Amino acid sequence: MSAAVQHVSVLLEEAVEALAVRADGVYVDGTFGRGGHSRALLARLGPGGRLIAFDRDPAAIAAGAALGDPRFTLVHEPFSALAGALDALGVARVDGVLLDLGVSSPQLDDAARGMSFRFDAPLDMRMDTSRGQTVAQWLADASVGQITEVLRDYGEERFAHAIAKAIAAARPGGAVATTGQLAALVEKTVRTREPGQHPATRSFQALRIFINQELEELSRVLPDAVDRLRPGGRLAVISFHSLEDRIVKRFMRDCAKPDALPARLPLRADQLPQPRLRLVGRAQRPGAAEVAANPRARSAVMRVAERTEAA
């Protein structure tokens, strides 16, 4: 593996500590990537421990095959398949779930993946290159309204409609088939942008999130993860985007509140419904040293919650 495609796991030690790993526990790494978090978890597990990791990227699956640890199982599926995969493996409950969201450095730095405007390559952006539609294929048929909605909702792009119209106008000439073409088109359309940010940043981010259904995948896995946690088990989620973090924050907050009851219901304190989660500490962010060593860590935030005894 070349230096260009190495991946540095963000909040590595903090995430492992947050899970309070038991030597004989069963854990899930929802995003194997290149195995940084998985290796750290395996180092904490004893002979009776078990780690089940998920990834939808065939390159990550190939990298995971080199681990060769009998305690380790790698599943080629998105983490939204967690419940079905655990059932297939005969695992009813786990002691911890870690989700490291977003895109990995190897995916960004591999020009062929088409996720970055730093390289001119086919406009792909799929995390799982073995299935599904590429961004170029979707843009070839999407309406101006559909493109506008994606850029606005997933990228918070102020100029979404203007960019969508420009994409539609360029399609007859086949001018939106590569990352370089799309970046140039957006740059020409967007006249103002935040200092230090390429005009196409938000559009690329929005299209990647959309084509991989990243927010929908996250919304599906969170309740399944809580359902599978044993009492005392922990859920740790590292996000890199405000939309992801908003979903995680609201989900954990809502699960940490007891169900509402009618006013003046005659119940003792021990009869009141208990919430399913207990929030653990405050949101954690990388320190200055980690950000200096790995600038891509700067937007990371980790939230942690613990499963209670509540059904």
Name the binding residues. 35-37, 55, 79, 100, 107
Binding residues for S-adenosyl-L-methionine: 35-37, 55, 79, 100, 107
User: How far, CA to CA in Å, does 127 sit from each of 134, 146, 211, 224?
Assistant: 10, 21, 9, 22
Query: Exposure pattern of 226-249 as b/e (b: 16+ CB <10 Å)?
Result: bebbeeebbbbbbbbbebbbebbb
| Nearest in space to 104 (alpha carbons), one of 71, 55, 165 | 55
Rounded-to-integer distance, Cα 69 and Cα 53, Å: 12
User: How far, CA to CA in Å, does 55 sit from each of 22, 60, 63, 79, 224?
Assistant: 23, 7, 11, 7, 17
- Strands 301-307, 277-279: pairing kind: antiparallel
In total, the chain counts a number of residues equal to: 311
